[in-house]
Amino acid sequence: MAGQATEKRVSVYLYIPNIIGYIRVLMNFVAFALCFSHKKLFAILYFFSFICDGLDGWFARKFNQVSTFGAVLDMVTDRVSTTCLLVILSQIYSPGLSFLSLLALDIASHWFQMYSTFLSGKASHKDVKDSTNWLFKAYYGNRLFMAYCCVGSEVLYIILFLLAEKQPESVVDVFVNTMKEKPLLILPLLFSSLGWAIKQAINVIQMKTAADACVYYDMNRTK
């Protein structure tokens, strides 16, 4: 029995989506190691790692290799990579506190959501069918909409990283100058900014909804 358990554990670690997760970790490690010396290579590696975030989910469903370990690996990789990028942006743009605030919101909302999911006994933090907020339900209920918001947010951060020249630089000034001097970037900036804005709204809603779930759990427990 012990041998079978070990075999099963090893097989989970070798699931295709989990192997993709390991590759994502490696790509992010290399990307951030080279971020200041090879900015374009960083952007390519970081973005490709982000695209793999969608691929691992597809492979997990395709080959019936969904696992709790894979879900945790996926979320941790997402949060850590976004965290590192936001910290870098907070150092090359002013006010840096704006990016650190976005980082705090991202971590807090996902932590609250994961913990409230655990308390409610749900299998996935994406199970929000009982939510009364239409935007929150649309985000987790429609993969394309969710992908647009996530991709838009990450693309905006990558563009800002590539555009930064002087340090520290004002985000507003960079936006204004880009609109004037680089018209080809206007559409990508607007497209990604809209996705980013929706994602931040979702983070706020998610944190409030999850916090309420924690409070309701305490109220029911003390009855």
Q: Which of 69, 200, 215 is nearest to 139 (CA)?
A: 200
d(CA 171, CA 102): 14
Residue 121, phi-psi category: left (phi > 0), alpha (psi -120 to 50), beta (remainder): left
User: Residues 209, 118, 22, CA angle at the centre, nearest 5°?
Assistant: 105
Q: Which of 199, 211, 116, 122 is nearest to 155 (CA)?
A: 199
Tokens for 182, please give them: 């680089």
User: Residues 102, 107, 113, CA angle at the centre, nearest 5°?
Assistant: 125
Annotated catalytic residue, options 56, 78, 173, 212: 78
Amino acid at site 161: F
212 catalytically annotated: no
Indicate which residues carry an active-site annotation: 78
